[in-house]
Amino acid sequence: MSRGHHSRSEPVDGLLLLNKPAGLTSNQALQKVKRLLGAKKAGHTGSLDPAATGMLPLCFGEATKVCAFLLNADKTYRVTARLGTATDTGDATGAEIGSATVPELSAGQWDAILQGFLGESLQIPPMYSALKKDGRRLYELARKGETVEREPRSIRIDEIELLEAAGLRLVFRVRCSKGTYIRSLVEDIAKVAGTLAHTAGLHRENVADFRAEDMLDLSRAEADAADGPEPLRERLLPPDTALAALPEVQLDAIQATRFRDGQTVPSGHNESDGLARVYGGDQEFLGVGEFSTNGMLRPRRVFRLTEGHP
């Protein structure tokens, strides 16, 4: 294939689970893979800080329609905290703004502190975040040395597991709700322990029900696409992979046509609310439906996949 293949944008439908390297913003990573695939339309879900690594679901073509459903997904992180030092950004990229002695706590004592964060709580987002205040990103204000009042946000910690506690290093795994800022969590954990800390390393292991082993390194993606986009396109996951947690509804040919045309159809289920994955003949993925009264199913997102999609 000619060297000009990367400039041709074509309809490409599917998901790629990128193991984002450190040093790239989520959007920079997305644009690199979009070019490698020669895709027309792309989006990502659940941004990672530039310093963070790990699972970043990238959506292409019709699969961009699942981005909204992934935004609410739970996420699992492996976190390395550096105890005794606080930075202005809350991570290792920032300038040191404070230091404190670190108490000598046993693994059991650290574990007890971590378990105290289980469940729902209110968290104040960090200044170095992409949230907006009066139309401006907080990190833009923070870079100018400004600090503004931030509204506490409701978060949920489902699991938190101590992996290592040695000297100034604390390592733990956490499964949490959307909107949880790990940098703020690390600072709050240190506060309970009577010291300071910042996030020295952050790796996202999972988003929703995706498997960590399905992640692809950027270097591997570049190698796959060295002579053309086809080998990389073959690695794309079907869009409905992102919706595995939803119940499945099968429609006959007439119902499938009506669903595609935006009409409400019988679901064959008793649910009166919630979402479902909807399929036609030969397990063709039609889209996302919403259960309504009397066992009916209303189209929420209709997918029109191109031939040869994953």
Model pLDDT for residues 115-158, shown as the tens digit of each residue: 999 999 999 989 888 788 888 888 888 888 888 889 899 999 99
Backbone angles phi, psi at 140, to 5 degrees: -65, -40
- CATH of the domain spanning 3-72+209-241: 3.30.2350.10
CA–chain centroid gap for 150, Å, is 23
Domain covering 246-302, topology: 2.30.130
CATH 3.30.2350.10 residue ranges of the chain are: 3-72+209-241, 75-207
The residues assigned a catalytic role are 49
Asked if 137 and 127 touch (Cβ cutoff 8 Å), the reply is no
Give the model confidence (pLDDT) of 61-104 as tens digits. Answer: 999 999 888 888 899 999 999 999 999 999 999 999 999 999 99
Residues in Cβ contact with 149 at an 8 Å cutoff, skipping those fewer than 6 apart: none
| Tokens coding 294 | 């009397």
Residues in Cβ contact with 152 at an 8 Å cutoff, skipping those fewer than 6 apart: 122, 123, 124
CATH 2.30.130.10 residue ranges of the chain are: 246-302
Coil vs helix vs strand at 93: coil
Q: At residue 160, what is the residue type?
A: I
- CATH of the domain spanning 75-207: 3.30.2350.10
Give the model confidence (pLDDT) of 191-226 as tens digits. Answer: 999 999 999 999 999 999 898 999 999 999 999 999
